[in-house]
Amino acid sequence: MDYQYPIDVDWTQDEMVQVITFFNAIESYYEASVDSTTLMARYKEFKKIVPGKADERNIFNAFKEQSGYDSYRVMKQAKENPEKTTLSDN
């Protein structure tokens, strides 16, 4: 991992940890597997910190630019196919 997570300096330490935990789940969805229930729970915690869609989009884009991982794509698949545990092209 040679990238930085998109962090807002105004967040508390706990909020930063929650955001990083969410992005760790995104990474796991790409690299190994993560249960969609776990992923959705981490997204719910993320949304408490970043409730606005525009802010979410900006953070997702910053993470994608840094890591190459598309959080939007992962969340879309997890919502549409909750039985999946990894990203697939199907």
What are 8-19's pLDDT values in tens digits? 999 999 999 999
Question: Is pLDDT larger for residue 82 or for residue 42?
Answer: 42
Q: In the chain, which ranges are continuous DSSP H helix?
A: 13-31, 36-49, 53-67, 71-80
Nearest in space to 21 (alpha carbons), one of 48, 3, 39, 1: 39
pLDDT confidence of 1, banded at 50, 70, 90? Answer: low
pLDDT at 26: 96
DSSP helix/strand/coil, 43: helix
Fold (topology level) of 13-80: Annexin V; domain 1 (1.10.220)
At residue 75, does pLDDT exceed 90? yes
At residue 90, does pLDDT exceed 50? no
- In the chain, where the domains are located: 13-80
Rounded to an integer, the average pLDDT of 20-48 is: 95
